[in-house]
Amino acid sequence: MIVTFLVTASLALGLSVSTTQVHAEKYHWVRNYSYSARPYHAKDPQASVAVWNWNHTHKLHDLVNFPHTTWYATSSVTMRHGSTKAVYYKVISGNKKHSGYIWRGFLTKGTYIDPADTDKGIVLPDPAERYYNPLIPESWVEKKNIDSH
């Protein structure tokens, strides 16, 4: 009799005390902009930075494994996680083998230039080549020179 009472009481107590499940906040897309590919590289090549899948649930890659890679951003996505918003770039590697989403704070504009390769430096285009092409007989600069004589 006491055993029956204890079993009944424990079942009643177990059913009345239920645990509430807490669901983790998910990432939701708020805004998406697509554009032509823009080059970026890792701001800190030694930092462990995640490259995420589209819904920010699986880590696909780590930027520490791609220290000399130029990434090309093809779109930017504003994601909301709870009350926090962040902008992620959809990127693809220069060899087109790896892609994913990276928070924009971990990237810097421009292609990767190896700092140890100082003899090359940054090569800037010659401004004269922008306006004059000797293969085109009547370019803008040539017309200007003819008109001024």
**Domain 27-116 falls under CATH 2.30.30:** yes
Domains of the chain, by residue range, sit at 27-116
Q: Is the pLDDT of residue 1 over 70?
A: no
- Work out whether the CA dihedral 54, 58, 64, 68 comes out positive or negative: negative
Contact at 8 Å (CB) between 88 and 54? no
- Amino acid 17: pLDDT: 47
Q: Give the span between the Cα atoms of 38 and 120, in whole angstroms.
A: 22
Q: What is the CA radius of gyration of the chain?
A: 29
Q: Which residue type sits at 41?
A: H
Q: How far apart are CA 97 and CA 77, in angstroms?
A: 21
What rounded mean pLDDT belongs to the chain? 76
Q: Has residue 134 got a pLDDT over 70?
A: no
Q: What's residue 115's pLDDT?
A: 72
Q: Give mean pLDDT, residues 16-28.
A: 58
Q: Is 90 helix (H, G, I), strand (E, B) or coil?
A: strand
pLDDT at 15: 47
